[in-house]
Chains A and B, each alone.
Chain A
Amino acid sequence: MRTVIVGAGQAGRRTAEALRGLDPEREILLLGAEEEPPYDRPPLSKEILLGEARPKGLMQREMNAYAAERIDLRLGVRVVAIDPSGRCATTADGTRIEYDQLVLATGAQARRLKLPGADDPRVMVLRNLDDARVLHAMLRPGLRLAVAGAGLIGLEVAAAAAQLGCAVTVLEMGPRAMVRSMPALIAERVAGWHRAAGMVLHFGCALTAITPQNTGLLLATGQGEIEADLLLVAIGAVADDALARQAGIAVADGILVDAHGRTGTPNIFAAGEVASIRQPDGRHVRFESWQVAQQQPLAVANAICGIDKPYAELPWHWTDQHGHNVQVFGAHEPGFDWIERDDGAGRFAALGLDAEGRVRGAVLIDNGRDATPVRRIIAGGQRIDRERLSDVSVGLRLLC
């Protein structure tokens, strides 16, 4: 039995390791397009930029660790086509690899700006370890860094660059920071940290033209011209689902899978960020988070081995900026009634109630101790008295 995993990032590694744990016999091929052994991405927008060469958070194992697990990790190998009927993948050099099961763990790519001048080498994206190393080498005191996009990645890079003494300007088309990842009340707090660090944030500000000059980049925006030495484009990611699309597997901003990671095509699965996962209400959602790359591959490995353990984690993501840790749990919808709990000692929680008074989402700032309690409160789905939820003297662990 041979399982071939396309994509040797976090999700690929987790699929391979989980499969090996479940089945000592199976042949496992893990194919990575990069030359780097698998790594997790959170340090790319933080520690790597600040100069740590090998932060532990990369979770990068040596090649021999894969050999010891009899995982056949092949790097610098790009799969260019798959043939579902012949159960075969073809690599860029023409090698055909047969499989019994195929797992697509190809992740996502940074979305690019479609503007003239965007191909200048001073216009960068941050997606992989090489990008982070190049960016680290360029960040220096006094550098004028413009960041297009005030999402998680854009703001994490902005925070690191400010720490290194760069002069940072953030340009965001939307009305506020982190529209997709945080409720407004949290985004306002985070924006406040950035402004306090001397950064300039422009909202409702579209970048309309990039003019490369000898002295820098001239950026035209809806709010005037800005000169920068470097522009980081951090406007989101696009699922790398081209292989699936070409093979006739259903995609819609990501490969459509069920809670076990099964695509509609027999023997083909999708793991991690490339997967758009069917939810209990029938909708498909693609998550861009460490959590999905970490946990959803376990469902895939189980399904491959015939074990029924669907992916059912409560969504969770975090960001670290300006010395603060922010964690988001569950949903954050515009209509929520947010209850704020501030303990006066720097620990903060916000609980998002839906129209029926149920806690559906939560955000914690420098308050990881309440992570498990809020997860349980959300999962429990009980109505909890609003006054009790608001009472900081009642610990959340007593309410779960």
Chain B
Amino acid sequence: MVWHDVAPAEDFEPDVPKVIEVGEERIAVYHLDDGFYAISDICTHQYAILSDGFCEHGKVECPLHQACFDIRTGRALDEPAEIALATYPTRIEGGVVQVSLG
């Protein structure tokens, strides 16, 4: 399993994700009250960058058409999105949040 550095854990602010790109993938990592969660940063409905959207209570809202996703599970919570976002494992290594594409 390859792990990629995202940012030091202490640099994260609530509801403000950190974004990294690995190859073709753009991944947003969120610090929620129970840990760090990584999801694909592209809306499954139409091309839109989800980290540009409003984030609150473990949900992120697509900035274009306001579909909401569960950050912990990637699940699409309402239309127009129907397909879940990819989720990725995270860990903290030496104080740095890392994500793996598996």
On A, residues with C-beta under 8 Å from B are 40, 55-57, 59, 294, 316, 318, 320, 325, 367-373, 397
Q: Would you list 29 pairs from A and B whose C-beta atoms are within 8 A, ordered by A residue?
A: A40-B80, A56-B45, A56-B46, A56-B80, A57-B45, A57-B46, A59-B79, A59-B80, A59-B82, A294-B79, A316-B66, A318-B64, A318-B65, A325-B64, A368-B53, A368-B54, A368-B62, A368-B63, A368-B64, A369-B52, A369-B53, A369-B54, A369-B63, A370-B54, A371-B54, A371-B63, A371-B66, A372-B56, A397-B54
Chain A residues whose CB sits within 8 angstroms of the CB of B64 once the complex forms? 318, 320, 325, 368
The yes or no answer to B61 lying at the interface (CB within 8 A) is: yes
Is A57 a contact of B54 with CB atoms below 8 Å?
Answer: no
Nearest CB on A from B70, distance (A): 16
Q: Which residue of A lies closest to B81 (CB)?
A: A56
Contact A368 B80, CB 8 Å, known A55-B46, A57-B46, A373-B54: no
Chain A residues whose CB sits within 8 angstroms of the CB of B66 once the complex forms? 316, 368, 371
Chain B residues whose CB sits within 8 angstroms of the CB of A320 once the complex forms? 64
A57-B67 Cα distance, complex, nearest whole Å:
12
Chain B residues whose CB sits within 8 angstroms of the CB of A369 once the complex forms? 52-54, 63
Q: Which of A57, A316, A370 contacts B80 (CB 8 A)?
A: A57
Chain A residues whose CB sits within 8 angstroms of the CB of B65 once the complex forms? 318
Main secondary structure of the interface of A (DSSP, over half): helix
Chain A residues whose CB sits within 8 angstroms of the CB of B82 once the complex forms? 59
Task: Tally the A-B contacts, defined by beta carbons under 8 Å.
Answer: 43
A59-B65 Cα distance, complex, nearest whole Å:
13
Contact A372 B80, CB 8 Å, known A55-B46, A56-B45, A56-B46: no
Chain B residues whose CB sits within 8 angstroms of the CB of A373 once the complex forms? 54
A397-B15 Cα distance, complex, nearest whole Å:
11
Chain A residues whose CB sits within 8 angstroms of the CB of B45 once the complex forms? 56-57
A40-B46 Cα distance, complex, nearest whole Å:
13
A38-B45 Cα distance, complex, nearest whole Å:
17
Nearest CB on B from A137, distance (A): 23
Chain B residues whose CB sits within 8 angstroms of the CB of A325 once the complex forms? 63-64
Nearest CB on B from A241, distance (A): 26
With most chain A CB atoms within 10 A of its CB, the pick from B44, B62, B79 is B79
A294-B52 Cα distance, complex, nearest whole Å:
24
Nearest CB on A from B34, distance (A): 22
A146-B19 Cα distance, complex, nearest whole Å:
43
Chain A residues whose CB sits within 8 angstroms of the CB of B63 once the complex forms? 325, 367-369, 371
Chain B residues numbered 42-100 whose CB sits less than 8 Å from any CB in chain A: 44-46, 48, 52-54, 56, 61-66, 79-80, 82
The 10 closest A-B pairs by CB, nearest first: A368-B63, A372-B54, A369-B54, A57-B46, A325-B64, A56-B45, A369-B63, A369-B52, A368-B53, A369-B53
Chain A residues whose CB sits within 8 angstroms of the CB of B46 once the complex forms? 55-57
A235-B52 Cα distance, complex, nearest whole Å:
34
A367-B53 Cα distance, complex, nearest whole Å:
8
Chain A residues whose CB sits within 8 angstroms of the CB of B53 once the complex forms? 368-369
A372-B62 Cα distance, complex, nearest whole Å:
11
A315-B82 Cα distance, complex, nearest whole Å:
23
